[in-house]
Structure 1
Amino acid sequence: MSAPPNDRPFVLGLTGSIGMGKSATAAMFSARGVPVHDSDAAVHALYGPGGAAAQAIGAAFPGTLTPEGGVDRPALRAAVLGDADRLRQLEAIVHPLVGAQARAFLARHHAAPLVVLDIPLLFETGGQARCDAVLVVTAPAEVQRARVLARPGMTPEAFAAILAQQMPDAEKRARADYVIDTSHGLAAAEAEVERLVAQLTDPGRA
């Protein structure tokens, strides 16, 4: 963990594997007035009709655009699932655009004491380099599996393929500055977020 200059926000990277409770944790920071950049939301906008990534994705992956000109996400998922080369091709289109949006977000919130970059593949894409510290949200494997397989349309095969693209949870926790286990319930996670916000917005940033 590095200490930023006092003239810019403390940048906290928030990450965690699928089903760990990252989005719920991000919402807890937002509820406390902390600006949060949601990389998933940024991608959703980039994929929409007229989005900066849509046409490039359609050209690289024929048959993955909707009639309206947005990205058909299930079709795109099917096109890259289990194919590392195709996935890298997609990332080469999307990641620079998301990075540019994150930089614009940081510029907009330059006066805030703390900001959060919510990045699902933070370690996998080297996003930790933009952060002063990293918070990993976690849960036991059986809790994670139950959460993910309860999602509409999710299958064990798709879950396994997603996990294969993500850094193992144990490695993420080992590399984190802070860890929140979301399996202990909403109140416990809220308390951990409250404590972390208080710590990181303190002028001493101890």
Structure 2
Amino acid sequence: MRGAAWQAQSLLLAYPDEQFTGHLDLVRRVAAALGGPVGTPLGRFAAHAARTPLPELAAEYVATFDHRRRCCLFLTYYTHGDTRNRGMALLRLKQAYAAAGLRLTDEELPDHLAVLLEYAAAEPDAGAALLIEHRAGLELLRAALHDAGSPWADVLDSVSATLPPLGDERTAVARLAAQGPPAEQVGLAPFAPPEYMPQGAAR
């Protein structure tokens, strides 16, 4: 059932356009079937999204993920910042997706959480390994969303509940929280055009 959960989470973390509304019924069915710490928060977010006018939800999404540097959906940013190492990490993800037959559009970056979850839904073992590899960034994002009172915190709670309990990752989470991502500023083309970078990080 992890694959169904990851697919539902991926849909909910995409920008809420006209297609987003059509996905909510599917997400609610998946959430009801899953229940517990994975399904319950998904159902709660889907209910919020269903009763929120789409333009308002879209504005809330932009305010949360584009204007808050701590709420970055691009996971390699947490561990690599804007450094050369991030470019290599993006390339490695893109190669993994291509090997599994997942082709990204020019508008998609491979480290966007929605994209990674879509990959995990199709390739559960490899996807789980990548999610665990980026666990520190996931937990920082989850904490930031809770601090902001964001409804998307429910989606991150659901993602976290699909993964093993935090062990040694706690140290990495604490270190990232204290130090932040590396600050070396370099060009990451063709992987990270400025419009897809966290607010303030690409300027």
Question: Does TM-score exceed 0.5, indicating one fold?
Answer: no
Larger Rg belongs to: 1
Q: Which has the higher helix share?
A: 2
TM-score (norm 1): 0.28
TM-score (norm 2): 0.29
Q: Which has the higher strand share?
A: 1
